Structure 1
Amino acid sequence: MAVITTTRRTQHFGRTTTPTCKYWLAGRCNRNPCRFSHTLPTSPSNIYYNPYTTYNHSKKPTTCTPKPLQKPPNHAPKALVSVEKPINCRGEAMSVEKVIECGPKAMSVEKATKCEQKPLLIEKTIDVEDAATVAKASVEKSRSICKYWMTDNCVHGDLCPDLHSWFYGDGFSPLAKLHEHNKVVTGNALSTGSDKLYSGSIDGTVRAWDCNTSRCVNSINLGSEITSLISEGHWVFAGLKNSVKAWNIQTGADVTLDGLKGQVLSLNFGNDILFAGREDGVIYAWRGNSDPKAESAFELVVTLSGHTKSVVCLAIGCYKMLYSGSMDHSIKVWDLDTLECTMTLNRHTDTVTSLICWEDYLLSSSSDCTVNVWVCTEEGTLKVTYTHTEENGVLGLYGMTDAEAKPILFCSCKDNSIRMYELPMFLERGRLFTRQEVRSFEIGPGGLFFTGDGTGLLNVWKWLEEPKVVLIVNALGRW
């Protein structure tokens, strides 16, 4: 490639020019103000100035035979560019080819003669348009978002090596931003038969969003931090301190399940049973009551003890089992019929942050930066068949299929990003970026999915049937 060179302040025929900042051209100048120019260089106006003219200072011509040029090493790719033919010490023209390495520096080509001339550095100048093209081409985009762009303070523009976007990847697109919560969003839920999206937050409120207008249509202040939110059928459940709040979207029934001690950190529903994991390591189980004359729609069945620290995640599936992950670094497996613990899995070395069941596989994530894939053996035990490692701790796992029905795993990490992988090979499909950590994720119809971060922002995304289509008609009205 051609080499852009900048020299110190020079003077040609009384005209003073300021050299262009080479770091600015590469998009890496961080000086403000900078003593070099942040504009593209202009072509020299003096037509008599030729930096490639070879001057002969010897009084008498001497006999000398230039040696052939030494070939550059074979390991470096080369490009040959013809330049103006210099003359030797006899005044004869000789053929010289310029060899430029594909690297940041030009090779020095020597004329080995008896005149003992100094090595001549041959370079090729480029015009203004070429300079801009080379500068932009030299910037390789990283896979990290620019922190200065996030605060509208990036001065590099298109030459910035970091991303100026909240996501990268193909096949999906952002649709809407819903910002009413003022603290971290801990759960999203879509109730059956409703066109409302429900969100819960540490700010103590549950908000209902109209899917046709993208507006918040209702807000319920529960007066306590909401650390989990799920839906099952027509019911929406919110985990609070010392209780679980439940609403029936169809009938308007309002139920409080109390008697707990401590914050409810995780919720799940399966086999007609509501499970709630507390911060003291105990799991409460309520069975749904179908008797219309019953005092409560849910009846406490049993409490499951075994964890020594907080139960932060629950999953149901994979051979009709309940799986619980805890801050004690363990995963416990409970039989849904007998509600007894059948095994304990000790593979992670830090808090088990998330569990999902996908077909016959159990996937677990941890603050130890790993994602384990578990499979059931012939002996009836679970073993790890694959371990995926991230650079940062993993906060949550979420799974869905894309527009082509390919399984996609979402990994929310502590670096304020969500990594998207195509299973089973863990091929990266893209990344989503947020200002703070993503703590909630919900799958909607028609390829929709929702993410909630630490700032209280809810983002609405959609998988596209045609990745290049700009206009999106979604399944839920305006979304």
Structure 2
Amino acid sequence: MAVITTTRRTELLGRTTSPTCKYWLAGRCNRNPCRFLHKLPTLSSNVYYKHSKKPHSCVEKMRSSSVKKPTNCAPKAVKKPANCALKSVVSAEKPTKCEQKGVVIEKIENVEDVAALAMASVEKSRSICKYWMTDNCVHGDLCQNLHSWFYGDGFTTLAKLYEHKKVVTGIALPSGSDKLYSGSTDGTVRAWDCNTGHCVNTISVDSEVTSLISEGQWIFAGIKNAVKAWNIQTGANVTLDGPKGQVLSLNVGNDILLAGAEDGVIYAWRCNSEPKAESPFKLVATLSGHTKPVVCLAIGCHKMLYSGSMDHSIKVWDLDTLQCTMTLNGHTDIVTSLICWDNYLLSGSSDCTVNVWVCTEEGTLKVAYTHMVENAVLGLYGMSDVDAKPILFCSCKDNSVRMYELPTILERGRLFTKQEVRSFEIGPNGLFFTGDGSGLLNVWKWLEEPKVPTS
């Protein structure tokens, strides 16, 4: 194996030539121009240089002119190489002064071998190269960061939909529809043709859309002080008033539309069956208890509603009585996302943790496991892979989405975007969608169709 050591070479040769850049050899040099060489030396044999305070006269000649007579110069520059080399072999435990001050340049027979060695020594990180994202990375295959929008097996990216100008905060795919809907803080809801990927309709709401869901033939969008509703079959649109501040989360459970608002209250509407009603929805309750904005809502088994808030707490509500049954305190920062999987509740937080909650014999919930991540958790989402294994998607503030297998929570892969992923939706035939902070809507696909999607 060819090894190049460049320690103090500039001193030993009187700074006549720059040493080979060790970062270039590892594929990590980001300086242009670099004061070190980005090429390999062509010496034909091992040479040991002995350092001295006053350079030899031969070295002075090398400074002022080109080396016309290397054969005469070499014996003067190298003082007793045989003895020095012998000492380095015999006394391996105690390095000699020559080894400490000298420079060893092993014989290089093939430049391609060294390049291959440099590539093999590069340990790929699990972060995407920010220079590659802008087509400015100069390292190519030697770059230690990833030149790909994802890593992992079993899935790929199909398309990128560019229309939104700001954060995509919600994605909805109504059952039986050939349209995909997305909402953004740019104040629009867009409809996309699932066959062509083109935007076919844009609805302006004159307010930031901070949440979006679909239920039946209705699309619901959370905006400031209201919820907008559109019927995709009849074309009717309705404004549901009542919330105070921005509506940050939406969900439907037990035939009730639920909206978590900035004032810390959860608003609940039922379908209005009165024939002459002004609105098809009627406000039936307001669920108070949180002291700060309600960020996320999840529907679990046994008709339970879970709400996460900026007050660091999770509240459990009975959907039959619309009463709070318990409060969970397991996070030290904003509870950003909730998801129910089988009999477990999973919660993500800005405190860089994912908590797994289980039901105790007393009927309460306790944290059975806490998974730590490097950055704040923005969202949790779930679906199954081609082998029907449940996969947890964990969006983080480092512009990545980690994929974990459940129940082991072993990392399966990772998706990357230019800005953090704020929305996620599962589609048919192994499709899933992510929306990020730049306004980009990504279409992903499992290589085979998942068998059983998770809730």
Interval of TM-score (by shorter of Structure 1 and Structure 2): 0.7 to 0.9
CA displacement at 1:26 relative to structure 2: 1.4
Structure 1 segment 250-261 matched on structure 2, within 5 A: 250-261=233-244
RMSD: 2.9
Tell me how far apart the structure 2 counterparts of residues 335 and 239 of structure 1 sit (CA, whole Å).
23
User: Any gaps of 5 or more consecutive residues in structure 2?
Assistant: 49-81, 451-455
Asked if the contact 2:42/2:108 (under 8 Å) is kept, the reply is: no
Larger radius of gyration: 1
**Structure 2 counterpart of 1:35, which letter?**
R
Match 2:88 to one of 76, 101, 108: 108
CA displacement at 1:327 relative to structure 2: 0.7
**Structure 2 counterpart of 1:368, which letter?**
D
Equivalent residue for 1:171? 154
Asked if the contact 2:379/2:422 (under 8 Å) is kept, the reply is: yes
The verdict on how the C-alpha distance between 1:17 and 1:127 changes in structure 2, with shifts beyond 3 A counting, is farther
CA displacement at 1:41 relative to structure 2: 4.5
Match 1:180 to one of 126, 149, 163: 163
Count of matched residue positions in the alignment of Structure 1 and Structure 2: 407
Equivalent residue for 1:104? none
CA displacement at 1:453 relative to structure 2: 0.6
Structure 1 segment 195-344 matched on structure 2, within 5 A: 195-290=178-273, 293-344=276-327
Q: Secondary structure at the match of 1:429?
A: strand
CA displacement at 1:25 relative to structure 2: 1.5
Structure 1 segment 130-169 matched on structure 2, within 5 A: 130-169=113-152
CA displacement at 1:153 relative to structure 2: 2.3
Tell me how far apart the structure 2 counterparts of residues 383 and 453 of structure 1 sit (CA, whole Å).
32
Q: Secondary structure at the match of 1:445?
A: coil
Deviates more, 1:416-425 or 1:32-41: 32-41
Equivalent residue for 1:39? 39
The verdict on how the C-alpha distance between 1:269 and 1:19 changes in structure 2, with shifts beyond 3 A counting, is same
Deviates more, 1:140-149 or 1:284-293: 284-293
Asked if the contact 2:3/2:105 (under 8 Å) is kept, the reply is: no
**Structure 2 counterpart of 1:389, which letter?**
M
CA displacement at 1:304 relative to structure 2: 0.8
The verdict on how the C-alpha distance between 1:426 and 1:108 changes in structure 2, with shifts beyond 3 A counting, is farther
In terms of fraction of residues, the more helix-rich structure is: 2
Match 1:353 to one of 327, 336, 349: 336
**Structure 1 counterpart of 2:197, which letter?**
S
CA displacement at 1:122 relative to structure 2: 9.1
Asked if the contact 2:207/2:223 (under 8 Å) is kept, the reply is: yes
CA displacement at 1:418 relative to structure 2: 0.8
Asked if the contact 1:353/1:394 (under 8 Å) is kept, the reply is: yes
Tell me how far apart the structure 1 counterparts of residues 446 and 91 of structure 2 sit (CA, whole Å).
63
User: Any gaps of 5 or more consecutive residues in structure 1?
Assistant: 11-15, 45-49, 54-87, 90-95, 99-106, 468-479
CA displacement at 1:288 relative to structure 2: 1.6
The answer on 1:404 being equivalent to 2:384 is: no
CA displacement at 1:124 relative to structure 2: 4.5
User: Residue by residue, what CA displacement relative to the aligned partner does 1:422-467 show, whole Å, maximum 9, x if unpaired?
Assistant: 0111110111111111110111111111100110000000111299
Match 2:173 to one of 183, 190, 197: 190
Equivalent residue for 1:103? none
TM-score (norm 1): 0.79
Tell me how far apart the structure 1 counterparts of residues 394 and 17 of structure 2 sit (CA, whole Å).
53
Tell me how far apart the structure 1 counterparts of residues 389 and 205 of structure 2 sit (CA, whole Å).
39
Tell me how far apart the structure 2 counterparts of residues 415 and 149 of structure 1 sit (CA, whole Å).
16
Asked if the contact 1:401/1:407 (under 8 Å) is kept, the reply is: yes
Tell me how far apart the structure 1 counterparts of residues 238 and 302 of structure 2 sit (CA, whole Å).
31
Equivalent residue for 1:362? 345
Q: Secondary structure at the match of 2:113?
A: helix
Equivalent residue for 2:27? 27
Asked if the contact 1:369/1:392 (under 8 Å) is kept, the reply is: yes
Tell me how far apart the structure 2 counterparts of residues 275 and 364 of structure 1 sit (CA, whole Å).
19
Q: Secondary structure at the match of 1:242?
A: strand
CA displacement at 1:6 relative to structure 2: 5.0
CA displacement at 1:293 relative to structure 2: 4.5
Asked if the contact 1:187/1:452 (under 8 Å) is kept, the reply is: yes
User: Residue by residue, what CA displacement relative to the aligned partner does 1:95-137 show, whole Å, maximum 9, x if unpaired?
Assistant: x9x9xxxxxxxx931389xxx9x88979443411111111111
Tell me how far apart the structure 2 counterparts of residues 393 and 17 of structure 1 sit (CA, whole Å).
48
Asked if the contact 2:46/2:107 (under 8 Å) is kept, the reply is: no
The verdict on how the C-alpha distance between 1:194 and 1:123 changes in structure 2, with shifts beyond 3 A counting, is same
Q: Calculate percent identity across the aligned residue pairs.
A: 80
User: Residue by residue, what CA displacement relative to the aligned partner does 1:265-290 show, whole Å, maximum 9, x if unpaired?
Assistant: 11000111000111011111001234
User: Residue by residue, what CA displacement relative to the aligned partner does 1:43-81 show, whole Å, maximum 9, x if unpaired?
Assistant: 75xxxxx5479xxxxxxxxxxxxxxxxxxxxxxxxxxxx
